[in-house]
Structure 1
Amino acid sequence: MNHIPQSEWAERFPGATIIPFEGKHPQIDESAFVAPGARIIGDVTLGPQSSVWYNCVLRGDIHRIEVGARSNVQDGSVFHVEGPRPDTDGCPTIIGEDCVIGHMAVVHGCTVEDKGFVGMGAVAMDDCRIGAGGMLGAGALLSPGKHIPAGEIWIGRPAKPFKQRSETEIEKVRFQTERYMRLAQRHMAELRR
C-alpha cells in the first residue's frame, strides 16, 4: 500500500477530519476515498480502493481499526474498539476485503471477514466475528462474543441464524463493492471541481 502523507490529507479529502491520536496516525491508501464530514481518528488503516462515506466516525484511540481493500463503510456508520482490560488484550475492529458496511451501522471491536456484510442500522459488538461471506441483516444486533459462521445470514435483535447464503448471493457483495469503488471515483471527481 502507498499511504497518503499527513501533509496531503486536507487537500485530498476536503471537509473530512483526519487526525492522529497519541502518536498514532491514520494510514490511508492513495486510492481510498474519505468523504466530507467523515472522522478518521488515530490507529486507522484504510486499504486500497476502500471508501468511508459521509458522516462516518472511525475512532482508533484505544485499539486499531483496519478496513480492507475495496470495502466500503457507508454513510453515518460508527466504528470503535475495545481497549485492553485485565481479562483481554482488547478487541480491534477489522474489516476484511470486499466487505459492505451498510448505512448507520455500529461496529465495535468486531471482525468482519472477506465478503462479509453488515446491514443498514445493524450493531455488531465486542469480540464478534462475521465469517467470510456472512451477513448480519439490517437492524440486527449481534451481542458480544457471537460468531456468524461463513456464508450464514443472521437477523433479529438479538441476532439468530436465518439461512445459509448461496455462492451467487455471496458474489453479489463483490458487485456492490465494485459499484461503490466506481461511485467513490465519481464523488472524488466532483469534489475536485
Structure 2
Amino acid sequence: MLIEHAGKRPRIDPSAWVAPDATVCGDVSIGPGSRVLHGARLIGEAGGTIRVGRECIVMENAVIRASRKHPCTIGDHCLIGPNAHVTGAEIEDEVFVATGAAVFHGAALGRGSEIRVHATVHLRTRLDPGAVVPIGWVAVGDPARILSPDRHDEIWEIQRPLDFPDWVYGLDRSTPDLMQHVTRRLSQSLAGHAADLVIDG
C-alpha cells in the first residue's frame, strides 16, 4: 500500500516491487530492482526521508522509519532481514541487517558490515566498514564498541551520554514525568497521519 503523508508520495522505481500488503508511506524512494516483501513498513514521518538504493531486499515485517531530525538512507545491495527495525540510520552499500536486529537513530553502518540475528546498533553508533555485530550482541559508541549483552553496565556507561531522550525526543532525561512528555509529543506528531491519503491499495 502506498500512502501520501504530509504532501509527500512514495517514489518507486518501475523495476522495483512492493508487496501488496507492505506499507510505504511519505517521502520514501525505492531504487531499481529493490524488493519490499510482505508486511514490511517504510514510514517517512512529516519531514523525514527514506532512501533505499539499488537491488535492496527488505524482508517480511521489517520496519524502516525516518523523522525530520533523523532521515534514513540505505545504500545499494543491502538486505534488511525479517522483523528487523531500522530508524533514522545511515547504511552504506552491501550491509546485512539480520532477522530481529535493531539499528537506532543516528547510527552509521559502514560498507559491508553485518548486524547479525537479534543484534543491536545503538543510537549515534558508528561501525567501520566490514564490522560484524555477533548474534544478540550490542554495538555502542563512536567508534563502536561491540559487547555481549551480559555486559550491561559497560554498555550503559557508553550509551547514557549518547542521551536517547534528548537525541530522539528533545527532552532531558531528568524531566519529571518523562514518559508523559514523550508520549504527548509523539501523539501530537503522529496525529498528522489522520490526513494520510492511500494512493495505491
TM-score (norm. length: structure 1)? 0.70
Partner of 1:128: 107
Q: How much is the aligned-residue C-alpha RMSD, in angstroms?
A: 1.3
Q: Does 1:48 align with 2:14?
A: no
Structure 2 counterparts to residues 40-119 of structure 1, below 5 A: 40-62=24-46, 63-83=48-68, 90-119=69-98
Asked if 1 retains the 8 angstrom alpha-carbon contact of 2:40 and 2:59, the reply is yes
Q: Does 1:37 align with 2:50?
A: no
Partner of 1:180: none
**What CA distance in whole angstroms lies between the structure 2 residues aligned with 1:56 and 1:127?**
21
TM-score (norm. length: structure 2)? 0.67
How many equivalent pairs are there?
Answer: 140
Letter matched to residue 22 of structure 2: A
**Secondary structure at the residue paired with 2:112?**
coil
1:11-52 deviation digits (Å, cap 9, x = unpaired)? xxxxxx101111111010000010121000010000000010
Gaps spanning 5+ residues in structure 2: where? 140-144, 148-201
Letter matched to residue 73 of structure 1: V
1:157 offset after TM fit, Å? Answer: 4.0
Asked if 1 retains the 8 angstrom alpha-carbon contact of 2:45 and 2:67, the reply is no
**Secondary structure at the residue paired with 1:19?**
strand
1:135 offset after TM fit, Å? Answer: 0.9
1:34-73 deviation digits (Å, cap 9, x = unpaired)? 0121000010000000010000010012300011000110
Task: Answer 1 or 2: higher relative contact order, Cα 8 Å, separation at least 6.
Answer: 2
Q: Does 1:19 align with 2:23?
A: no
Partner of 1:152: 131
Over 6 Å off, 4+ runs: none
Partner of 1:14: none
1:127 offset after TM fit, Å? Answer: 0.2
**What CA distance in whole angstroms lies between the structure 1 residues aligned with 2:121 and 2:131?**
13
**What CA distance in whole angstroms lies between the structure 2 residues aligned with 1:148 and 1:82?**
22
